[in-house]
Chain A
Amino acid sequence: MILGHPVRLAVAVAAFLMLALIPAGFDVGLKFDAALSVVWAFGILSIVLLTGYVGQVSLCQATFAGVGAYAAGMMFNTFHAGYVVGIVVGVVAAFALGVLVGLPALRLRGITLAIVTLAIALVFDKYVFQDHIFDWFSGGSGGWRVDGANLLGLPADSSSHLLAGYEVLLALFVLVALLMVNLHQSGAGRRFRAIRDSELAASTMGVNLTRYKLLAFGLSAGIAGLGGSFYPLIAGSVSPQPFWVFTSLQLSAIAVLMGVRYVPAAALGGFFMAFVPDILTRYGHGTFMGHSYDISYDWFSLALGALLIVQLILLPDGVWGDLHGHVAKAMAAVRVHTQRRVRVA
């Protein structure tokens, strides 16, 4: 089985079908949130690869997503290319930038590397996405608009076919997630994890640090860029705000919260990142016992910080990391139970 264990594949297909169908009943706002959650799930998946597997720090993952988004928007608007071409260019551009950002990582690690990547995020946020010198890339102050796009003939315009973009992106996410799980168990995955656990031992046991670190940064950025390249499609336009520095920080925080070593944590994190702020703005104000209150978007970061502290104490391996063991046990129990019922019948 190319994509790994048949059971895992079946679970992935089932999850895809379920998640693909549910948003059909949503209003437009929630449909957009659903699509956005996959974009951010890619962002967190990129952190699972880079930090969870290879042990490298990066605080500019949203920047890679932004490069994917702007490159796709530029291809669509300036070169009138099909949107699929835009996606490919977005991924390649993000991959290339990832390799470049990986260069300092050959020398630096830990906090110094974090600061360097943070600086890169700032530079892209303030200049590349916003300065007029880069208007050819960012589309100027209005950004790029993407109307009437299709994906290889499948209409996927955000106003009429928002869910088409969502479903394609979701399918891609499931695919990439499966590949990531495979990678973890494979030879290359072992080399990545060896770098995480001891670079010294890895290099003296034949692992080419330069090659694998750059590869990790490139792949990770490419994954973030793939998610980002769908953003203009589902939002109808692209602006700097979603990809600013703070998003990178939030992605990292949520990755840690959900379990930075686990692929499914990316899906959980994507949901969290897209839905929670929106739900807070929608329902987070009103009156309670005569007092009016308003816990809208600003409270999201506060809640995230508080959750992070609770998680670090109670669930040090992240929400998914610490809970999936219990889930697996419960599933095994259910399986035994149903088997018994079948035998009786």
Chain B
Amino acid sequence: MTMLRVRDIYVRFGGVVALDRVSIDLNRGEILGLIGPNGAGKTTLFNCISGVVQPDAGRIFFDGRSLRRVPPHERARRGIARTFQNLQLWKSMTLLENLAVPMDALGRRSTIADALGNPLSRFAERATMERARAILHVLDLDAHANSLAGDLPAGIQRRVEIARALAMRPKLILLDEPAAGLDAGETKRLADLLNAVRERFHVSMLLVDHDMSLVMRVCDYMYVLDFGKILAQGRPAEIRSDRKVIAAYLGEPNPELPAAPDGAVQPVITSADRKDGTPALPTGAPLLGVKGLAAGYGALEVIRDVNLVVRPAEIVACIGANGAGKTTTLRAISGIVKPRAGRVFFGGRDITGRTPERIAGMGLAHIPEGRGLFPRMSVEDTLLLASDNTGQRVDPSVAYEVFPRLKQRRWQAVGTLSGGEQQMVALARALLARPRLVMVDEMSQGLAPTIVRQLFEMLSVLRSKGIAVLLVEQFVESALEVADRAYIFEHGTAGHEAPAAELRADRKLISGSYLGSAVDEPAAIPSEANGNGHRVDVELMEVLSLKVPPSVKRAIEERATREGRSAGAIALELLEGVKH
């Protein structure tokens, strides 16, 4: 049965037609993939379905009812949840609170009763928290239950976005690039999780992601968008071999050689080329030297005793599981986070503790994971800002050659660009500043496969011009393909260093399975009660939801305190008693 029907949706922003009469159908229990180049309109379609953008024409039906003029919160209550490509967690609230908001939006709760803290409110509150904990448990987020969402690394925040969407007990989840910034192992676990969620909770999903390993693994059916139009649709196997899709989005179907020069383009020197002939690794005085670096946030020390060097015209990759300290290392080098111990040398000078502006001015460009853009500034102005670092005026047209898409968008405010277009702006700005060393955090995040491939090629070009690169990258395989050396991060320190060629041979490393060993248990959906008495089950959620008569709730609460067990366990017991 069709659960979501989108008919002839048309959206334009000024001169840009973001969606041009798009129609899609999604059946109950199905995972539908939506792929397409950056700026194709995928997020815009999500915005139309969740009600934050009004289409200029077209209709959307959910469960047979029209969504016309239905406000976003009402769509949420009808069962449409979503995650955001540009993370939108409530940063100053704990994870439990983040999950609680959508949960009690479903029930009717009175503000006055809440302020008075009356007993019913307090029971509902406890039930909410119980369910929130259960969901955090499923997503392996227990350890962070009371952390503020904004304090967590981006990779974990992405998982919280999914948890928050699940907390709404939706019928349909719209997932906007959930695998961005996840390495191969983590992406595999995400795929397992999505499959398990679908099976246990009968949730349908609409999935946007540029990581084909995820999309191909979980989707039943796919749509491909290009320039706001449906370019193709079909089963994953059909899409993978569709010539139009390959041309517009996937690129040459040989993922083994992403950095290989394809004939006429610029001369590309991959590290593989170097092996025959020139010395394998650049030698000489290091451009960047890091000795015994330690840094952290508040009481938390995230990295300690990090040692690494980058020589001129060398590409160095940092690899390691999410939370291993890569991002913090880059931040400490570029001065965004104050180092607590250790020294950083750049171009022979000690730059430890200098301000980020001064460090950038010396030719060390840092493209942070959050992109660091000003949302109201136009693309062109953002690029011109790069001149502030070199003292001379830059020529944005160089950037437009690399990213032609940006040229069409040059007067658009950066904040309204698609996620991938924003990433292009961040990269272009850094390169225009003519740095001696570029540090890129998750370069390929949010970018379509063809562009990712181009960018890896561009890194080789940079190297041939004498620019060094320090890279943190989710696609470990591609990173190692182009890199000269790599540092493997573990538990907040750069434990191990090796030539990239050596690591490339190590399949286990590339598949992410031993990198992520610390968090490697497969995403477990507990089907039976686990130790805490949490049991994530549709029925349990039903009992704990607010439709239960207050007298029953009170009885449950009393028994829970008397027997010192969780309310959830008792509710479940009662429920089973009723059923038998």
Contacts and interface: CB of A to CB of B under 8 A. Distances in A.
B89 A187 contact: no
Nearest to B93: A193
Contacts of A197: 89-93
A338 interface: no
Contacts of B100: 187, 190
A191 B101 contact: yes
Given A197-B92, A205-B164, A190 B97 contact: yes
Interface residues of B, number: 39
Contacts of B118: 2
Interface stretch (B73-81, B428-436, B496-504): B73-81
Contacts of B75: 204
B71 interface: yes
A206 interface: yes
B50 interface: yes
Contacts of B121: 186-187
A3 B82 CA distance: 36
Interface in B87-110: 88-93, 97, 100-102, 104-106, 109-110
A4 B121 CA distance: 12
Interface string B146-180: 00000000000000000010001000000000000
B305 interface: no
Say whether chain B's binding surface is mostly helix, strand, loop, or mixed. helix
Interface in B372-407: none
A204 B50 contact: yes
A1 interface: yes
B93 A194 contact: yes
A207 interface: yes
Interface in B115-164: 115-118, 121, 124-125, 128, 164
Contact of B114 (A3, A189, A203, A205): A189
Contact of A202 (B101, B117, B168): B101
Interface in A185-243: 186-191, 193-194, 196-198, 200-210, 215
B527 interface: no
Contact of A203 (B52, B81, B90): B52
Contacts of A203: 51-52, 71-73, 76
Q: Taking each of B77, B114, B124, B168, which has the highest tally of chain A beta carbons within 10 Å of its own beta carbon?
A: B114
A295 interface: no
A119 B124 CA distance: 42
Contact-size category for A: 20 to 34
B90 A198 contact: yes
B254 interface: no
B517 interface: no
A77 interface: no
B115 A206 contact: no
A183 interface: yes
A198 B117 contact: no
Interface string B237-273: 0000000000000000000000000000000000000
A205 B117 contact: no
A188 B116 CA distance: 11
A250 B256 CA distance: 65
A207 B114 contact: no
A194 B101 contact: yes
Nearest to A206: B105
B105 A207 contact: yes
B72 A179 contact: no
A182 interface: yes
B76 A205 contact: yes
A201 B118 CA distance: 28
B73 A209 contact: yes
B84 interface: yes
B125 A191 contact: no
A205 B84 contact: no
B111 interface: yes
A163 to B, nearest CB: 29
A194 B164 CA distance: 12
A207 B101 contact: yes
Interface in A308-339: none
A196 B75 CA distance: 21
B101 A200 contact: no
A179 B117 CA distance: 9
Contacts of B168: 205-206
Interface in B479-536: none
Nearest to B76: A206
Q: Taking each of A179, A189, A190, A198, which has the highest tally of chain B beta carbons within 10 Å of its own beta carbon?
A: A190
Contacts of A179: 115-116
Contacts of B104: 187, 190-191
Contact of A206 (B73, B89, B90): B73
B303 to A, nearest CB: 25
A183 B121 CA distance: 11
Nearest to B122: A186
Contacts of A196: 90, 92
A1 B114 CA distance: 13
Given A187-B100, A190-B101, A201 B115 contact: no
Nearest to A186: B114
Given A191-B101, A205-B168, A1 B88 contact: no
A209 B76 CA distance: 13
Nearest to B46: A204
Contacts of B81: 204-205
A18 B226 CA distance: 70
Nearest to B149: A197
B52 A201 contact: no
Contacts of A189: 114
B112 to A, nearest CB: 9
B114 A187 contact: yes
B125 A186 contact: yes
B117 A2 contact: yes
Given A194-B90, A197-B91, A205-B164, A187 B52 contact: no
Contacts of A187: 100, 104, 109, 114, 121, 124-125, 128
Contacts of B82: 204
B84 A2 contact: no
Q: Taking each of B100, B111, B125, which has the highest tally of chain A beta carbons within 10 Å of its own beta carbon?
A: B111
B191 to A, nearest CB: 24
A212 to B, nearest CB: 9
Given A193-B90, A198-B89, A200-B84, A208 B115 contact: no
Contacts of A204: 50-52, 72-73, 75-76, 81-82
Given A190-B97, A203-B52, A208 B71 contact: yes
B158 to A, nearest CB: 14
A250 B114 CA distance: 31
B73 A188 contact: no
B111 A188 contact: yes
Contact of A191 (B105, B106, B110, B116): B105
A4 B50 CA distance: 37
A201 B90 contact: yes
A210 B71 CA distance: 10
Contacts of A3: 116-117
A197 B106 CA distance: 20
Nearest to B104: A187
Leading 6 A-B pairs by shortest Cβ distance: A206-B105, A186-B114, A197-B90, A206-B76, A188-B111, A201-B88
10 contacts: A179-B115, A180-B115, A183-B114, A187-B124, A188-B111, A197-B91, A200-B88, A203-B72, A204-B72, A206-B102
Given A198-B91, A204-B51, A207-B73, 14 more contacts: A3-B117, A182-B115, A187-B109, A188-B114, A194-B90, A197-B90, A205-B105, A205-B168, A206-B76, A206-B101, A206-B102, A206-B168, A207-B101, A209-B73
